[in-house]
Amino acid sequence: MENMVNFWRGRRVFVTGASGIVGAWLVKDLLALDASVVALVRDADPQSEFFRSGDYRRTFVVNGRLEDFSTLERAINEHEVDTVFHLAAQPIVGVAQRFPLHTFEANIRGSYNLLEACRVHGGHVRRVVIASSDKAYGAQPSLPYTEDMPLQGKFPYEVSKSCTDLITQSYFHSYNLPVAIARCGNIYGGGDLNWSRIVPATIRSFLRGESPQIRSDGRYVRDYIYVKDVTRAYLRVAECMDDPNVQGQAFNFSPERALTVLEIVSEIQRLMNYPNLAPQVLNVAHGEIFSQYLSAEKAQRVLSWRPRYSLEDGLRETIEWYREYLAI
């Protein structure tokens, strides 16, 4: 911990998507490590953990959109940013499926705008961590996903992540930009207010005394990784960026415990003690890969990263956050 504090103390860090679930917890970590944080926020949502906690008062807030290059360039230049965490994106698969244009604009244009701003100001920017997703791999003939697999997304959200990863690698190979890519599965934790996601939606349903709804047939398989393990993973990538084995590389982060949707709902149900509220299986999901889960062997070997939270511990903290937030 002392080494982490020494590394981050006073370091100027730009976080895009600071008001999202991962961004809010990453900002907390950076502030605790005494970093100087510049936060890009599109909409000032008072319900976001970033605002509810008051953390925004301890950061330099830049209001703007990823699609606006001048906003990103100004933030990096005027604040003489040293480290960039690019987390902002349109993150919902269903939203991308219904209307892909905004997802492509935010996730693809937004990423190359950010990378170009970092390239232009390479005299200041020393490390860039791009938050990607297991969705970048698309459907593969074998699992778990490993970093040497091709990126072959087919549906809009997957394609936006595949493109982001390929563009990031292009900036490394073409301009030697000090970048690395972090790919995670389904991230859960307090502060996620996207109620279409299975973990927050299930917790809210149980707290309301309602049966949770499952959009798929319940057999879809996913990784579930706690948000605090994700933020530590991102920090670890940045801390190791001077290593030539890290620059330009992608890393999977996963607890390596694949679960069906029914299994994750069952675990939440057990922890919350609502045995009589059986889930409703709607089976209406469309445009989603059936099975997705990751190998984290490379991150363990190169970065010495391992998750600190078991599924039960992560879910317990998450349930308590929503219990307080919803005041039930």
CA distance 158 to 90: 12
Tokens encoding 166: 């390929």
- Residue 259: how many other CB atoms lie within 10 Å: 19
Residues near 279 by beta carbon (within 8 Å), at least 6 away in sequence: 202, 211, 212, 213, 214, 218, 262, 265, 269
234 catalytic per annotation: no
Residues near 131 by beta carbon (within 8 Å), at least 6 away in sequence: 17, 22, 85, 86, 87, 89, 182, 184, 234
Phi-psi region of 197 (alpha: psi -120 to 50; beta: other; left: phi over 0): beta
Phi-psi region of 283 (alpha: psi -120 to 50; beta: other; left: phi over 0): left
Cα dihedral across residues 262, 266, 268, 272: positive or negative: positive
Q: Nearest 5°: CA angle at 186, between 200 and 150?
A: 160
Nearest to 134 by CA among 183, 100, 178: 183
Tokens encoding 116: 């170009």
How many Cα neighbours within 13 Å face the side chain of 99?
Answer: 5
CA distance 190 to 183: 20
Which one of the listed residues 112, 157, 224, 226 is annotated catalytic? 157
Amino acid found at 101: L
Catalytic residues: 157
